[in-house]
Amino acid sequence: MMTLQEIHTIIMRASYPASKEELIAFVRREGYPEDALRRLETLPEHYYGSADSVMDALRTLD
């Protein structure tokens, strides 16, 4: 399983604000590991203003 730090490194490259679906599409398009997709699929439906806001949401799910 990818660490939160590895997920953070990936999503830092995305454009924000971004919805959960946009983040998942970015990870797919860029060819990142399936594990990253699985982690992002657990996110609540929301528009995220930054990679840090995504990380905050992921931390609450761990």
Tell me the per-residue pLDDT of 2-60, one tens digit each, with 9 for 90 and over.
999 999 999 999 999 999 999 999 999 999 999 999 999 999 999 999 999 999 999 99
**Is the distance from CB of 22 to CB of 40 less than 8 angstroms?**
no
What range defines the domain where residue 41 resides?
4-61
Indicate the length of the chain as a whole number.
62
Residue 62 has pLDDT above 90, yes or no: no
Residue 1 has pLDDT above 90, yes or no: no
Contacts (Cβ under 8 Å, ≥6 apart) of 34: none
Distance CA 31, CA 48 (A): 21
Structural domain total, the chain:
1
**Is the distance from CB of 23 to CB of 49 less than 8 angstroms?**
no
Verdict on whether the full-model pTM lies above 0.95: no
